[in-house]
Structures are given as structure tokens and as C-alpha cells.
Structure 1
Amino acid sequence: MRIGVITFPGSLDDRDAQRAVRLAGGEPVALWHGSHSLEGVDALVLPGGFSYGDYLRCGAIAARSPIMAEVIDAANSGMPVLGICNGFQMLAEAHLVDGGLIRNDHGQFICRDQVLRVENASTDWTGDFAQGQEITIPLKNGEGGFIADAETVARLEGEGQVVFRYVGVNPNGSVNDIAGVSNKRGNVVGLMPHPEHAIEEGFGPDTSAAMRNGTDGLAFFTSVIKQTLVSA
């Protein structure tokens, strides 16, 4: 399975996402923001970083990059798309998922191991998780507070589009502790924490005060590979 990872000016985690795809058993395909070709990939990852320096709003300029026209068409046709951190912001700015992301309520950048609860194990990216499972993956953001109007939040909650929820602490003031959401179809998922940084044992300081990573993030990538093979 070929999974495209798009690099934007300011992307930081594109190589990490490519490596996660490879370790999960897929073939990573590097794509460029200025291209209009998805090169025949089966799924897409919009990685984390600071695209275009986070000018205007985070993800706002990237959401209007040339390749995003192809991403929007592909997503609306059912292709699996994962937006991680800055990629989640792009998905929101491109209206591929509902809601938006604003500056953390405490006004500071945060970097920590974060516990999440899997609220929907039926999306293209979460099939290898169990409903209600708690996982730990790294979180690092300055503008990660999820917001939406009350009607939208009620609809997301009622229709199972809240995919991940923060557990133990709400690190950025997100409404209802929401860490990630999907579109109605379940092929597009956005979340603030970084699964691509938790794919292999032995990386990260082994102390109680520092991030220790783990492998909970790998299931995102194995999930989409299995889902795509089943759908083929």
C-alpha cells in the first residue's frame, strides 16, 4: 500500500510520518505542496510542523496550497486522510473536518506524553484499536485548543465523530476534552497528538520526567493499511 506524506514549507514531521508508514508495512511516497499530483497513492498524511510559519492562522495558507485541491477531491471520494497537529489544522481550514484550533488556553506551547481514549474505533485510521482503549502518544502544540459552536459539538458527539479524547488532563482547553475528530464518512481523521512519534520501543529518555514514547501510535498506520486492503 502506498501512503503519501505531503511536505509543506515548515513541515517538521514529514520524515517521521514516512518512517511510521514504512514500519507499519506500507510504502511511503513523498509528495510536495506545490504539485497537483497525488502519484496514485492509496492514502494521505498531512504531517505536523509550522507550515508557512503559521502566518494568518495555523494551517490556513497550507490549506490553499496547490496540492490541497487534489487532497480535498480525494478525501471527498473516500480516500483515507490523516491530519496530525498542523495537519489537523489544515483539515479544519480546508473544511474536511468540522471545528477549528485556537491557541492553548494557558498561552504556552506544551510538550508531554498524553493519554488519549479511543472514542471511535471504526474509522479508517483506528480499526486496530478497541473502543474505549487508552493510549499514550506525544503531544506538542501551541495552538491545539479544539473549538466549535454548541450545535456542531453536539452533532460530532452524537454521530460518533469524536475519535479521541484527552484523559487525565486537558492540555490546551479543548471543548469536551476533544483531541481528534473525523468527517462523517470516517475516512478523514485529524488529531493534535503525534502518533508518528510513538512507533518503536527504545526512543526517548527513560525517566519519569521525560517523554518515553512507546508504540501506541503504530496502530494508526496498520489500521489504514488493513482497511485499504479490505476495501480493495
Structure 2
Amino acid sequence: MSISKSKILLLFTGLLPFLINGFYNPTIVKIPTLYWFIEILTWVAFPIWIYWYGIKKQIFSRNIVGINLKIFNKRNLPLLFLFSIIAILTFPIVYNSSFIYAQNHYPINYLKVNFSYSQILPGRGIKYFFILLYFSATAGIVEEFYLKGLLRSIFKNTFFSILAFVIISATIFSSLHWEGGVWGLFATFIFGIFSATFYATTKNLWPNVIGHFATDYLWFTEVKFFIPIG
């Protein structure tokens, strides 16, 4: 099997549970032990195995998927730090602005299922804090690894290949959040376009992971910075 086909197979293996979890989460959330078993399996065990297997079989390397200290292909820690700050400041605004725009233009949130990760969060306290960190960190690390680092490595370095990567990355990212309804689909697509472009520019995964983490963390805590559009 070619390297590209192996990457696609690993990517499909990792993403499939996220595509179908909107069907089973509303049911298994009522059974906490089962919910957390599947949660840890799909968001922790699978990604670790995919990363380990890909490295072991030389399907990809850390550098190829953007896990390094380089930015624009050069080691520059101050610049990497700067772009991480830029991601923290811009990612949440892009997502929140897109979501509010969708709310204003689509009064009915079609496709929305009766489940939200906010349902899992307990009352305020140390347990709330750690689960909030877990949800934000796993989303930031896993989705960015799959849909930026691993997916980008499949495409060539030509303009049209990079453009295809950005569009496909955003489309897949949005489709994985279909259970959030049309509001979520729109917001995640716009966010996906922005974050994929950001990664294609910097070629480093860490600013994306940090920006994605900040977006989810602020969303869960209902701290929403946005720019009114339309």
C-alpha cells in the first residue's frame, strides 16, 4: 500500500467515530460508564495508536505533520510564540462571529440533535475544570492533528493542492459537527477555512492546537468574543 493510501486509511479510521457519534451520543450519555469508555477510546486511545503506528511504520514523521518548533520551515521560537498568541486571539473570534451570523440568518437550527458536550460538564468545581480542560485539549490536539497535520501531508506543495487541502479540511471538519445543526455546520466550515489556511501558512501544528483549545474553552465557559457581521 502506498504512503498516501496508508495516510488516508489512518485518517478515515480516526475520523469515522466523530462522523457517527451524533447518532449514539444522545443515547449513551444516559449511561456515563459507557459514554466515557467510548469517549476515551475514540478521543485518546485511537489518536495515540494512529500517531504511534504512523511513526513506527514510517507513514509520516513528526515534522511532516507539523509537530516541531519550526515556523515557515525555520526554527524560530519567538515567532512561533507570536503566532500562537495570534491564534488565541483570532480563532475564537472567527468561530463565534460565524456562529452568531448563522443564528441571525437561520432562525431554525435544522439537524440539531438532542446532545451537547456541555451536558457532560458537572457543576462548578475542580471536576468541572478538569473535564473542561479535557474536552478542550482533546478537540484541539486530535482534530488539528487529523485535519491539519495528517491531511495536509497527503497534498503536494502546489497552489491548487494547498487550496484543495483547505477546502477539504474545512468540509470534513464541518461534516464532523453536523449534530450541531446548520448553525454549527456554518461556523465550523468558516472556522475550518480559517484554521486550515493558518496551518498551511505557518506549517506548524502548535499554534492551531492552542487556538483551537482556546476556542473550545471559551465556548464552553460562554465567553464569546465576536465581530458583528451582517
Asked if TM exceeds 0.5, the reply is no
TM-score (norm 2): 0.30
Bigger fraction of residues in helix: 2
Flag the structure with larger Rg.
2
Higher relative contact order structure (alpha carbons within 8 Å, sequence separation ≥ 6): 2
